[in-house]
Chain A
């Protein structure tokens, strides 16, 4: 009997199931490293370095404690002389024959990442939107050449100009500052932002702003009230790209920042315990580091999907 519930132009149930299976396998394979990092964060230091690696283990928060604290090893007598530990993490540290000396630098580095990541993203999207609008709507002399020039700034790897930037930043006092990093990431992101957003703005009918201008708004007013809300999809997509770049950038961060403005990526791998890398603390740091950008992407993804079904334009 022929299945009449579907159109003959659609794919069959079997091929759809096969497609789903392939996608699931692919997702599992790509998720293994991330899963391993998250699991490592919940291992004790000892079980994080056992060989062969443990897939099943007793979960521990040692990595997270180590991430947020600095500790010193003490003799048995010293530890016994101390009053009993007040908190669960003090107890955990003492069971390793250590005491907490103070907080680690992780929190500050994490905050730096947030400030610089969101700052650079906001600035890239904002400036990019203004420039894209101008390129999309106005007659600009040498428009195509300018657009090509903007794109050409991405034709070499940014790190190729790392040394000149390093020298320049030191001369003008932007080295190891939040502002310096925000400016740098904005510059790198901007060409992508302008190109992406111009594409989206070209799709918005001019009549929208023209109607607003006839209705008594300035061009600026029309831009903020009409064009920006219409470009939500493009802005969300651009913001995600900019955010991922600024959040993950490593090379410039290593080179240009040390104390004040150091971001999390150069910091996390330098977490060292006794006898080498503290893998469970690194796992914990990386897990925490993944969270903001994941939330950011999930929140904006709604706009990405909404943009597709949106629009009251008749054509």
Chain B
């Protein structure tokens, strides 16, 4: 394992800039998640680290070594792709053994056998080793493609939304397993996703990307509680943070702020509330209820844990927790 550093990396595709002056350091043994919507440059970053793409400018370091001119095969990274999982013409065993049989490694049969069985046990696919890749369920396929990455001990594991095609239950399960495996192996992982739940649940640190620029880096808690912009605040949390235009509401401004943001869990329904609103929709999510409210000058969402029943269309009073209020200027940056 190694630490990975990108220094002043630029990348354009034709005239479209994909990455603009990207600086990231991923520490050895860290689970780093790059979070951003489609087109933010997440996948490009992975491809530049793996060597599948060359940066236009900037340097890539693995520990102290510059890797810019090193071929993908010699960078010794593992890559789990988003849109493909397995070689369909091979069995599960052969898929897992594939990286070990490469001309670079040419491991002995016994070594391959040992490693493949080990990884298969870890991922609970040891009873499927003889199956063709096409005879697996979606979850099993994804386990095998994770296995094919984990069977080696590379400088870094690069993962491009590996869980996005799985159903919710399976995703939940694999999230925890992946985090556990990473801790056990003390592995360096760069994981790319647009799903904020994956980011906050697994990451040691999160980097939020916007249009090829890194907006903020920090632990999940730092980014959730202290976002540096409206953009970052919007990326984490479900339901999303409420952003109010201060010109249109009664909320007092501070330091020339034009917008204020507050998380849905920091709004409460109480008779002492300052705002009269009515309930537009009620979503009962089991342990929690999401209420969207509306009035002439304020609308947003509330997340509440109470099991009271709420009626659509009913009038209520709400209170905002001022201590949790975040203020932003007219560029959407935090004040």
- Interface presence of B52 (CB below 8 A): yes
Q: How far is the CA of A229 from the CA of B98 in the complex (A)?
A: 15
What residues of chain A lie closer than 8 Å to B98, measured between beta carbons? 212, 215
Q: CA separation between A221 and B87, bound complex, in Å?
A: 14
Nearest A residue to B86, CB-CB: A312
| CB-CB under 8 A for A310 and B84, given A212-B98, A213-B72, A213-B73 | no
Of the listed residues A216, A229, A230, A313, the one surrounded by the most CB atoms of chain B closer than 10 A to its CB is A216
List the B residue with the shortest CB-CB distance to A226: B87
A312, B88: Cβ atoms closer than 8 Å? yes
**B83 contacts the other chain (Cβ, under 8 Å)?**
yes
A80 touches B (CB below 8 Å): no
Mask of A192-224 contacts with B, CB within 8 angstroms, 1/0: 000000000000010110111111111001000
Chain B interface size range: 20 to 34
B305 lies within 8 A of chain A by Cβ:
no
Which segment of B31-39, B102-110, B234-242, B327-335 sits at the interface? B102-110
Q: Are B81 and A207 in contact (CB under 8 A)?
A: yes
Is B50 within 8 A of A214, CB to CB?
Answer: yes
- Nearest CB of A to B50, in Å: 5
Residues of B within 8 A of A208 (CB): 84, 87
Q: How many residues of A contact B (CB 8 A)?
A: 23
**Cβ 8 A contact of B102, one of A217, A232, A315:** A217
Q: Which of B69-90 contact A (CB under 8 A)?
A: 71-73, 75-79, 81, 83-89
Contact A217 B52 (CB under 8 A): no
Contacts of B99 in A (CB 8 A): 215-216
A314 within 8 A of B: yes
Decide: A214 near B85, CB < 8 A? Known: A311-B134, A312-B141, A314-B138.
Answer: no
Q: Is the CB of B104 within 8 A of A207?
A: no
Taking the nearest CB of chain A, how far is it from the CB of B192, in angstroms? 14
A260-315 interface with B by 8 A CB criterion: 310-315
Distance between A217 CB and nearest chain B CB, rounded to angstroms: 5
Chain A residues with CB under 8 Å of B84's CB are 205, 207-208, 211, 313-314
Closest partner residue, chain A, to B154 (CB atom): A214
Contact indicator A210/B52 (Cβ below 8 Å): yes
The answer to whether A213 touches B138, judged by C-beta atoms less than 8 angstroms apart, is no
Instruction: Say whether A312 contacts B83, CB under 8 Å.
Output: no
B165 interface contact, C-beta 8 A: yes
A315 to B134, CA, bound (A): 14
A310 to B85, CA, bound (A): 14
Are B83 and A315 in contact, with the CB atoms below 8 A? Answer: yes
Q: Which of B52, B133, B165 contacts A213 (CB 8 A)?
A: B52
With A221-B102, A311-B134 known as contacts, the answer to whether A214 contacts B72 (CB < 8 A) is: yes
Residues of chain A contacted by B73 (CB below 8 angstroms): 213-218
Given contacts A210-B52, A214-B52, A214-B73, contact A314 B103 (CB under 8 A): no
Sample of 28 A–B contacts (CB below 8 Å): A205-B84, A207-B83, A210-B50, A210-B72, A213-B71, A213-B73, A214-B75, A215-B78, A215-B98, A215-B99, A215-B148, A216-B73, A216-B76, A216-B102, A216-B104, A217-B102, A217-B103, A218-B73, A218-B103, A310-B88, A310-B134, A312-B85, A312-B88, A313-B85, A313-B88, A314-B83, A314-B138, A314-B141
List residues of B whose CB falls within 8 A of some A CB. Answer: 50-52, 71-73, 75-79, 81, 83-89, 98-99, 102-105, 133-134, 136, 138, 141, 148, 152, 165
Question: Which A residues have a C-beta under 8 Å from some C-beta of B?
Answer: 205, 207-208, 210-218, 221, 226, 229-230, 232, 310-315
Question: Given A214-B77, A215-B102, A312-B87, 20 other A-B contacts at CB below 8 A?
Answer: A205-B83, A205-B84, A207-B83, A207-B84, A211-B84, A211-B148, A212-B102, A213-B72, A214-B79, A215-B99, A215-B148, A216-B102, A217-B73, A218-B73, A221-B102, A229-B87, A230-B88, A232-B89, A312-B86, A312-B134
